[in-house]
Structure 1
């Protein structure tokens, strides 16, 4: 299970930093969207960035644990990482609709492209880290 937790941690950091860099470079608020939890009941307050990033990492840890379970059941880590990342790419649409903060619109295809690139980096780092440990 430690391999999955480590892979989830590293991949979550890679995703967060890559989207933060893309947002700084382009102005498209994809990092803001990643960390946004304002639409969840009892979570709609102003959280420090480090706390929001921690929420994101918790989800990534869970994904890393599921990757470990799938790998133990015979899935190749690269296959499992892609399988687990696909739904996170599609979360762009409901997250952008539900957000109260200023985030990219659901039909902002440039932002969606950045979101896809970030999540592809996530899948690659998840599988690579898991395979190397």
Structure 2
């Protein structure tokens, strides 16, 4: 139970780092990759809720927490739960694979917005590095 609580805290901290990075990029470049982080247009039921910012923020952090807990236990089953490179590869490649979801909304960058793709993927690489380091140090 304590391990799950620590993984939850890791998800919240790393999720905050990811959101902060993409917010800074948004403020500096006006690129909308940040908006994709909280967008729920492509999720049935969630896309019906009118206060998208609150729902999006909750969605983002629930996703961060669930992915940290889930990935930790998958990597643990493989005996590599403390391997930083495993976190970096899974989250970076995974985020690159999720970028096409941007095509499902008019609020997010276009699928052909290469800078948005780079910011999105770089932000998730930073997220993965933060997750991996905290797992190594706290668990």
Q: Same fold (TM over 0.5)?
A: yes
Counterpart position of 2:121: 116
Distance 1:96 1:72 in 2: 32
Counterpart position of 2:66: 62
Distance 1:89 1:9 in 2: 21
Question: TM-score normalised to the size of structure 1?
Answer: 0.87
Question: TM-score normalised to the size of structure 2?
Answer: 0.84
Q: What is the alpha-carbon root mean square deviation over aligned residues?
A: 1.7
Q: Could you list the runs of 5+ residues in structure 2 that have no partner in the other structure?
A: none
Counterpart position of 2:51: 47
Q: Could you list the runs of 5+ residues in structure 1 that have no partner in the other structure?
A: none
Q: Which moved more, 1:27-36 or 1:81-90?
A: 81-90
Distance 2:120 2:109 in 1: 10
Q: Is the 8 A contact 2:40 2:52 kept in 1?
A: no
User: Which of 1 and 2 has higher RCO (CA within 8 Å, sep 6+)?
Assistant: 1
C-alpha distance after superposition, 1:55-103 (max 9, x if no partner): 101011111112321343211341331243021232011x2111142x1
Compared CA separation, residues 2 and 72, structure 1 to 2 (3 A): farther
Compared CA separation, residues 70 and 11, structure 1 to 2 (3 A): same
Aligned length: 131
1:1-133 correspondence to structure 2 within 5 Å: 1-44=4-47, 45-73=49-77, 74-75=79-80, 76-85=82-91, 86-93=93-100, 95-101=101-107, 103-133=108-138
Q: Which runs of 4+ in 1 moved over 3 A?
A: none
3-state SS in 1 of match to 2:46: coil
Distance 2:117 2:22 in 1: 11
